[in-house]
Amino acid sequence: MSDNLKIIADKFLSSDNIYILTHKSPDGDTLGSAFALYYALKAKGKSVRVLCADTFPKKFGYMYEAYEDKDFEPKLIASVDVADLNLLGNLSDIYAQKIDICIDHHKSNKIEAPLKYVSVASAATCEIIYTLLGYMNTEFTPLVCDCLYTGISTDTGCFKFSNTTPITHKIAAELMEYGCDYVNINKIMFDTKSKARIEMERMVIDTMQFEYDDRVAIIVVTRQMLTNTGMDESDLDGVAAIPRQIEGVDVGITMKETIDGGYKISVRTSESVDASKICAALGGGGHARAAGCSVNMSSQEAKEAILKAIKPLI
């Protein structure tokens, strides 16, 4: 399988006029992969573009401030960290059938491409790009390392999540030796919140309600809160993790009011309760520790319904 990555390395080295496709709602890993590759290929004198259906979030500015977006006809198209064509967003119409190289770490990867390298054991696509750049014999500049570190750090929750492996740490060590600015990157990614986000968290925590001897905690995010703080749903990353973080809570419920007045419910559980079974009872599904469902009910009805679904399982 890593032979395939060497073939991909050779393909990049022997090509020019390269497009790199990232997934919509871009995160640290897709952008880190794309820009690390961009700077590495630019240093080899090639024309390269990074494409995304959405604008690059401001917090990743340090990765793309040296990026020059120049138009040209692509001769090679690669996707990074994109598991499915629909994740290309509006890029899909033009490029769906034209991907030459697919590099990813998602188990669910469904992209078809002549050259494909999917490593599910890798915590981040940036881990794969790190190996790829080694094969390509490119220079690990501090900027390239900043990009790679960003993907690795964000996809592992700063080395906290179970996808972290010894290899993840070894690569981080290398990136630090090459001069990546890990302190600043981690500060931006993990220790910076907007005023609106702080305000949102305060309002959300105000709604917190405990049930079943405090083993269940429920929070509610209303449309009004989004309006008041000027946030949209994409700014709610991580909010669903709040109730489960509370000591003794086995089931954390986050109810997000939808535009049509119903609720999208996220369920996070400890090992003693199966989240997917709770959600299945309300027509949803997911994994054992994280699942979801949508209900067309009032807030009170939705709470009662989810508590009823939890009862036999807790």
301 sits near its own copies (criterion: CB under 8 A) = no
* Minimum distance, C-beta of residue 250 to its own copies, in the bound complex (Å): 13
User: Residue 194 CB, nearest distance to its own copies (Å)?
Assistant: 5
Query: Interior CA angle at 237 toward 63 and 313, to 5°?
Result: 145
Indicate the residue among 165 and 222 with the shorter CB distance to its own copies: 165
Q: Based on CB atoms, which residue is closest to its own copies, 171 or 310?
A: 171
- Stretch of residues binding its own copies (CB under 8 A), selected from 71-79, 126-134, 157-165, 286-294: 157-165
Q: Given the rule CB under 8 A, which of 9-17, 138-146, 238-246, 288-296 is the region that contacts its own copies?
A: 238-246
By the rule CB under 8 A, 290 interacts with its own copies: no
206 belongs to the binding site for its own copies (CB under 8 A): yes
Question: 3-state DSSP call for residue 216?
Answer: strand
Interatomic CA distance for residues 305 and 54, integer angstroms: 36
Of 96, 166, 147, 119, the closest CA to residue 5 belongs to: 119
**By CB under 8 A, residue 160 contacts its own copies:** yes
* CA–CA separation, 277 and 41 (whole Å): 47
161 binds its own copies (CB under 8 A): yes
Instruction: Give the pair of three-digit tokens for residue 87.
Output: 């994740």
Of 199, 244, 208, 191, whose CA–CA distance to 226 is shortest? 199
Residue-wise DSSP of 45-107: T--EEEE-SSPPPGGGHHHHTT--------SEEEEES--SGGGGGGGHHHHTT---EEEE--T
**Does residue 232 belong to the site contacting its own copies (CB under 8 A)?**
no
Q: Check residue 158 and report its DSSP letter.
A: T
List the Cα angle 21/24/28 in 5-degree steps: 80
Amino acid letter for position 311: K
Q: How far is the CB of 27 from its own copies (least distance, A)?
A: 18
Q: Cβ of residue 180: shortest distance to its own copies, in angstroms?
A: 10
Applying CB under 8 A, among 246, 272, 301, 308 the residue interacting with its own copies is 246
Q: Does 176 bind its own copies (CB under 8 A)?
A: yes
CA contacts within 13 A on the Cβ side of 242:
23
The answer to whether 183 contacts its own copies (rule: CB under 8 A) is: yes
Residue 201 makes contact with its own copies by CB under 8 A: yes
Asked if residue 213 binds its own copies (CB under 8 A), the reply is: no
Binding site for its own copies (CB under 8 A): 158-162, 164-170, 172-174, 176-177, 182-183, 186-187, 190-195, 198, 201-202, 205-206, 208, 210, 214, 241, 245-248
